[in-house]
Amino acid sequence: MIPGIGTLTQDTLWCFSQVKGTIEIGTTEADIISTVEFNHTGELLATGDKGGRVVIFQREQESKNQVHRRGEYNVYSTFQSHEPEFDYLKSLEIEEKINKIRWLPQQNAAYFLLSTNDKTVKLWKVSERDKRPEGYNLKDEEGRLRDPATITTLRVPVLRPMDLMVEATPRRVFANAHTYHINSISVNSDYETYMSADDLRINLWNFEITNQSFNIVDIKPANMEELTEVITAAEFHPHHCNTFVYSSSKGTIRLCDMRASALCDRHTKFFEEPEDPSNRSFFSEIISSISDVKFSHSGRYIMTRDYLTVKVWDLNMENRPIETYQVHDYLRSKLCSLYENDCIFDKFECVWNGSDSVIMTGSYNNFFRMFDRNTKRDVTLEASRENSKPRAILKPRKVCVGGKRRKDEISVDSLDFSKKILHTAWHPSENIIAVAATNNLYIFQDKVN
Amino acid sequence: MSQKQEEENPAEETGEEKQDTQEKEGLLPERAEEAKLKAKYPSLGQKPGGSDFLMKRLQKGVWGIVSYPLSLDVLLCVDEIEGDYNMAKAKMKNKQLPSAGPDKNLVTGDHIPTPQDLPQRKSSLVTSKLAGGQVE
């Protein structure tokens, strides 16, 4: 198997690599992971949680001695990105939960990322310090000011090595631009701008300017009683800096071109799969709501996730997706209870592998699914402590739908709906995946021969 | 002969009907679930995608809308507060710069709170467990 070319043939075996977090009965809500993202080289892996904290892991250099172990991810930096706030005018509590993290491509020694909660986007700089100046004239070694009368000689401070320190500093705070809750941020391929999207509006920012943003999409109706859909996700095209897409709660995707007009309320392309009206039920619109939209690395396709399926669309064909994959169709007969316990509103994300040949998304019971677009094979795997021996091969799981349950299968009624995998990430070029299971982060790699 | 023809035609139609039924059967679980839900909550509206539903979604996080916003109460007694503030500032001028932490001898109204003095509202300023504890 050639690494980096992700094909889910029978040769690909996924193994446990690492798990981060603690085993707890009754998770502290702050520890629930709310976003996971690799940077552009895959060297860094960032997580955000409900408590507003960001933890960044770095892949260790592969040693020649340990050929079997590919680089493991260890803690590199952690900081409090957002804190709880209170909007006094509206009597609203603003959660500190990190909704999304997006990395900027690396341009110098420091790393930059955007992190956002419901209202405020922040640009963080993560940099290393391994030297410090020593031998100041006016300060002593502890930093206290020296009495000028005691200084009789002059010396030049020198840089001395020190233990590596990783510092995270907030460089920009982009606030007060969103009335509604931010669901997405996306860095533009021009590396100068980025967008933030809330339920009804999308704003364009320049990284250097924090007190102004440009509104590029506004779907708020003049009369709120006429509100029929909201924006659920948005993303810039990976190569064309003028193009972006946004998805809606009605299962549609709009592609917009910023060259066409300043306000992109009128889409350039409109993607919608026709539905037989006789098939409609009370749940139809809810389960068609798109929870995530992602461009392929090639920029030719977009992938969308709704409650029961993942769909791949060709940008050149608006009237239907080119591929539809069933994630957990057996839940169709559980929609009533899933509506009652609010699970039907869970927002699952989806990801492409580096070569756009395999797509992955999460499900319940700590299951996650992978679909190979070429072979049309799919697999269900589980993130659990039971399969967490180093390099243990993950065994495919199966949900039993019909009457007779085989030995290793699990029945639909036994699924744990509190164990949901909403956030996953795939290394940009290798078969390494990060799966967030509530408060634990699992890292899996394919088997090295 | 005519009988046969009649038999043939129904067969065609049955073919289409079969397809319809198969589709409906595929949806039967969804429809059955809908019936279950309506039975439990008869007052449930027909269209879940209506503006009421979406409005609820937009207002996630709101609580206590009925009472005045806090700012209104503050506005009403601004004069009083300003008076106290100026008095307290005048007293403070004669003292040394305060160290961190409130001086407990000060009477409420004389002490000007600083951000350091206020108690933290939430204790989520603990390091994430992903960053500490077990590293495997």
Judge residue A109's burial from the number of C-beta atoms within 10 Å of its C-beta, 0-12 exposed, 13-18 middle, 19 or more buried. exposed
- How close B94 gets to chain A, by Cα (Å)? 26
Distance between CA A127 and CA A195 in Å, rounded? 24
Verify whether the Cβ–Cβ distance A84 to B37 is below 8 Å: no
Top-confidence range, A57-66, A140-149, A388-397: A388-397
Question: CB-based burial of residue A214 (10 Å sphere; 0-12 exposed, 13-18 middle, 19+ buried)?
Answer: middle
| Residues A53/A75, Cβ–Cβ less than 8 Å | no
Question: Could you write out the DSSP letters of every residue in A58-115?
Answer: EEPPPPSS-SSS---EEEEEEEE----EEETTTTEEE-----EEEEPPP-SSSEEEEE
Please, how many CA atoms are within 13 Å of residue A66, restricted to the half-sphere of its CB? 8
Q: List, in order, residues 6 or more apart from A101 with CB less than 8 Å away.
A: A35, A36, A37, A46, A47, A48, A54, A113, A114, A115, A116
Work out whether the CA dihedral A285, A288, A291, A297 comes out positive or negative: negative
Judge contact between A154 and A163, C-beta under 8 A. Answer: no
pLDDT confidence of residue A322: 98
Q: How confident is the model at residue A20 (pLDDT cuts 50, 70, 90)?
A: very high
pLDDT score at B110: 61
Q: How many angstroms separate the CA atoms of A18 and A245, rounded?
A: 35
Selecting from B37, B65, B133 the residue whose C-beta is nearest the C-beta of A336 gives: B37
**Nearest chain A Cα to B25, which residue?**
A279
Does position A441 have pLDDT exceeding 80, yes or no? yes
pLDDT of residue B85: 58
pLDDT at res. B119:
53
Task: Name which of B21, B25, B28, B33 to mutate to probe chain A: the one with the most chain A Cβ atoms within 10 A of its Cβ.
Answer: B33
Chain A residues close to B38, C-beta within 8 Å: 282
The first and second tokens of residue A108, run together, are 């110098």
User: Who contacts B125 (Cβ-Cβ below 8 Å, separation ≥6)?
Assistant: A80, A83
Return the pLDDT at A342: 93
**A390/B58 CB distance under 8 A:** no
CA B27, CA B47: separation in Å to the nearest integer?
Answer: 18
Q: Which of A232, A228, A202 is nearest to A217 (CA)?
A: A202
d(CA B105, CA B110): 10
Is the pLDDT score of A209 beyond 60?
A: yes
Amino acid letter at A343? C
Q: Is the dihedral of CA A215, A217, A219, A222 positive or negative?
A: positive
pLDDT digit string (tens) for A224-237?
A: 889 999 999 999 99
If you average pLDDT over residues A313-326, what whole number do you get? 98
Contact list, A18 vs chain B (CB under 8 Å): 135-136
pLDDT at A250: 95
Q: Is A57 helix (H, G, I), strand (E, B) or coil?
A: strand
Q: What's the CATH number for A12-125+175-444?
A: 2.130.10.10
Per-residue tokens: B10: 């129904």
Cβ burial, residue B116 (10 Å; 0-12/13-18/19+)? exposed
What lies within 8 Å, CB to CB, of B50 at 6+ separation is A228
Residues of chain A found within 8 Å of residue B133, distances taken between Cβ atoms? 21-22
Q: What is the pLDDT of residues A223-269, one digit of tens each?
A: 988 999 999 999 999 999 999 999 999 999 999 999 998 898 889 99
The CA distances from residue A437 to A83, A339, A447, B76, B126, in Å, are 23, 22, 22, 49, 20
Distances (CA, A) of A134 to A159, A315, A330, B70: 6, 58, 66, 51
- Helix locations, B1-136, DSSP H: 2-40, 51-58, 70-76, 78-92
Beta bridge mates, A79: A54
Q: What is the pLDDT of residue A55?
A: 98
Q: Are the Cβ atoms of A19 and B38 closer than 8 angstroms?
A: no
**A227 inside 8 A of chain B by CB:** yes
Strand partners, A352: A359
Residue boundaries of the structural domains of chain B: 48-80
What does the alpha-carbon distance between residue A10 and residue A271 come to, in Å, rounded to a whole number? 34
For residue B12, which amino acid is it? E
pLDDT at A141 over 90: no
- If you search the block for the tokens 């509104």, which residue do you land on? A215
pLDDT at B80: 52
Sign of the torsion formed by the C-alpha atoms of A111, A32, A176 and B114: negative
What residues of chain B score a pLDDT lower than 70? 1-27, 45-51, 60-125, 133-136
Task: Write the CA distances from B75 to A115, A429, B82, integer angstroms.
Answer: 35, 58, 11
The confidence score (pLDDT) of residue A429 equals 96
Question: Helix H segments across A276-350?
Answer: 284-288, 335-340
Q: Does A110 touch chain B (CB under 8 A)?
A: no
How confident is the model at residue A7, as a pLDDT? 45
Q: What is the pLDDT of residue A310?
A: 98
> Which of A75, A230, A333 lies closest to B57 in CB terms?
A230
pLDDT band at A440 (very low <50, low <70, confident <90, very high): very high
| CB contact at 8 A, A99 and A35 | yes
Place of tokens 């509190």: A418
> What is chain A's mean pLDDT, rounded?
92
Best A53, A98, A279, A282 member to test B by mutation, with max B CBs in 10 Å, is A282
Q: Work out the average pLDDT over A28-53.
A: 96
What pLDDT score was predicted for residue A24? 76
Determine phi and psi for B90, rounding to 5 degrees.
Answer: -60, -40
List the one residue out of A447, A449, A401, A444 whose CA is nearest residue A421.
A444
Q: Give me the residues of B, 12-31, that contact A with CB < 8 A.
A: 23-24, 27, 29-31
CB contact at 8 A, A138 and A151? yes
pLDDT band for position A279 (50/70/90)?
confident
Provide the ipTM: 0.76
- Using a CB-CB distance cutoff of 8 angstroms, which residues of chain A are in contact with residue B125? 80, 83
Closest CA to A232 of A404, A44, A99: A99
In chain A, residues with a C-beta closer than 8 Å to the C-beta of B29 are 332-333, 335
Give the number of C-alpha atoms closer than 13 A to the C-alpha of residue A135, restricted to the C-beta side. 8
- Which amino acid does the sequence have at A119? K
Q: Is the pLDDT of residue A133 over 70?
A: yes
